[in-house]
Amino acid sequence: MKEIVRQTPELREAVYSLINRDVERALSGLESVKPSQVPRLEGAWAPEHSVTEFSHSQEAKLAEAQQKAMQKGEAFPDVPMTLYEAIVATIPAEHRKHGSRR
């Protein structure tokens, strides 16, 4: 956490709110930080928004939409469809030790 706060001062309040278990305040603070403000390794995925919700129902809907697109021969956006995939995608492929499920 100290490293995050040192590198990205805009996240300081959100990090301390998380430490204090004030999730609502932490999320509010995170929403004000644009993904482009957070330093990333070259080639790492950056989310469209600072706060992205992943739920089992959302993951199921995305999987169904992807399946339908494949059946129709349509392209489907290459975006993380699960929380696990989103976490892995933030690490460039050349830095991953075990690869990803994608």
Are 89 and 62 in a shared domain?
A: yes
Q: For 78-89, how does the pLDDT look when each residue is reduced to its tens digit (9 = 90+)?
A: 888 888 888 888
Are 49 and 34 in a shared domain?
A: no
The CB density around residue 24, as the number of other CB atoms within 10 Å, is 8
Q: For 44-60, how does the pLDDT look when each residue is reduced to its tens digit (9 = 90+)?
A: 888 888 888 888 898 89
Are 54 and 27 in a shared domain?
A: no
Are 32 and 48 in a shared domain?
A: no
What is the number of domains present in the chain?
Answer: 2
Give me the domain span that covers residue 62: 43-102
Instruction: Grade residue 25 by pLDDT with cuts at 50, 70 and 90.
Output: very high
Are 65 and 85 in a shared domain?
A: yes
Q: Report the C-alpha gap between 86 and 82 in whole angstroms.
A: 6
* CA 86 and chain centroid, separation: 5
CA torsion through residues 87, 52, 47, 101, sign: positive
DSSP 94: G
Nearest Cα to Cα of residue 59 among 38, 81, 87, 77: 81
Query: Quick check: pTM over 0.85?
Result: no
